[in-house]
Amino acid sequence: MKRKCIIPLVLGMILMTTSACEMDESGDANNNRIRLVPVETIEIAPDSFEDYIRISGVVEAIEDATISSENSGRIQTILERGEYVQQGEMIANMDDRLSRSQYEAARTSFELADDTYQRLLALYEEQIISTQDFNSARAQRDQAKAQMDQAEKQLLDTHVEAPFSGRVEERFVRIGELINPGMPVVRLVNTDVVRITAGVPERYSGQIVEGNPVNVRLRSQNGSSFDSEVSFAGNVIDNATRTYPIEIELQNSEGIIKPEMVVDIYVRRTTIDDAIVIPRTAIVRDEEGINVFVVTEVNGEPVAELVSVSTGFATGPIIEITDGLQEGDEVIISGMSTLSVGDRLNIINRFSSNERARELQRRERPAVSH
């Protein structure tokens, strides 16, 4: 019975040894096996590339003025806040009785002086009166005319008129108040056309000039954006900010854009034809420089290869490649964090490089909505 027990024990040890050898061999095979990494790629297709710089700007109304009185008097009528007024229409009206009486007196004096002048003119032409008498009459007529014009101006100034069409945003006086010349009456604002001011870093001097196309994005209006161009580019650098000023004018008939809004401005610097562009996230930097992972084939299988590249212009999420890639190359754009040279690839999605670039630009800078 003891011999029967020994035989199964020996057989079991032989089987365990054989199984262990097989596991070691399998383990070695697994250790030498190429990893399979899921990635997304783009196929390089040259396209035109618009290089933009992004800066912040502030909105202001082109026509925004505090309207003051040029005469003294008591306010009788005045527009309410929020009311619109056309150019030349009355904003406020003052008691004009004193000014009107002064004008009437000045007008009467002028009519008398003019009548005297006309009578003496006929006598002077017939050489009945002296030149001195005639010149004296003409001087009195001219003086009376000047006094009448002055009185008329004071009368007209009792009516505060709008110098431009706009909306009353603030009132500084009320009905019944006595005001003096130079005293503010209302703030009048016209936002049909607005101006955006911004500062461009001095390194772009000579590149961002009047006429450069721009896209303006409103931060507070769900990404609403407008196309325009630089209407003014300054020649003087601000010492504090090292920027030079630019201005952009926008039509705003719907009143969407408000003064003092902060906006994002995308100024087009240049356009490059047949450019190769890829997402910035595809760039891999190391101590040797700038690289990207591309797809190559080994034994018919897609494998990761690291390629050195040179870059050019960069705009938002995309960057231009000037050397190292060519049309048809397949660049890996996601999954690089776990990727090593020689890893076998499981390509989940493939995109065209220009389609992917346009998609990223749409996310960064939405399509024009106005």
CATH of the domain at 255: 2.40.30.170
Question: Domain check: are 284 and 298 in the same one?
Answer: yes
Residue 70, in any domain of the structure: no
Tokens of 87: 């150019």
What's the domain range around 249?
Answer: 54-62+187-271
Residue 299 within a domain: yes
Kindly state whether residues 58 and 203 are assigned to the same domain: yes
Which residue shows structure tokens 């505090």? 66
Helices (H), 223-341: none
- Alpha-carbon distances of 295 from 340, 353, 359, rounded to whole Å: 12, 14, 22
* Helix, strand, coil percentages for the chain (3-state, nearest 5): 30, 45, 30
Mean pLDDT of the chain: 86
For residue 232, give the nearest of 208, 256, 252, 254 by alpha carbon: 208
Altogether, the residues listed in the chain come to a count of 370
Same structural domain, 104 and 146: yes
Q: Are residues 255 and 326 in the same domain?
A: no
91: its two tokens: 């904003």
In this structure, are 292 and 344 located in the same domain?
A: yes
Buried b (16+ CB within 10 A) or exposed e, 78-108: bbeeeeebeeeeebbbbebeebeebbeebbe
The pLDDT of residue 19: 42
Q: Under a CB-based contact definition with an 8 Å cutoff, are residues 200 and 243 in contact?
A: yes
Residues 6+ away with beta carbon under 8 Å from 34 = 301, 303, 342, 343, 344
175 in a domain, yes or no?
no
- Out of 271, 289, 309, a domain closes at 271
CATH of the domain at 105: 1.10.287.470
Quick check: is 169 in a domain? no
Tokens of 145: 């005319």
* 284 and 265, same domain (yes or no): no
Low-confidence ranges of the chain (pLDDT < 70): 1-34, 222-223, 364-370
Quick one: 193 and 257 in the same domain?
yes
Cβ–Cβ under 8 Å, residues 257 and 194? yes
Q: Name 55's Cβ contacts closer than 8 Å, sequence gap at least 6.
A: 198, 199, 200, 201, 264, 265, 267
Within 8 A by CB and 6+ apart from 315, the residues are 49, 50, 51, 52, 53, 361
Domain count of the fold of the chain: 3
Q: Does residue 182 fall inside a structural domain? A: no
Is 238 part of a structural domain of the chain? yes
Rounded-to-integer distance, Cα 211 and Cα 218, Å = 21
Instruction: Please answer whether residues 304 and 293 qualify as being in contact, where contact means their C-beta atoms are separated by less than 8 angstroms.
Output: yes
Token couple for 101: 């009486």
Residue type, 15: L
Same domain? 253 vs 239: yes
Whose tokens are 């906006």? That residue is 263
How open is the CA angle 360-362-364, to the nearest 5 degrees? 70
Residue at which a domain ends, from 247, 271, 295: 271
Shared-domain flag, residues 353 and 287: yes
Q: Are residues 266 and 279 in the same domain?
A: no
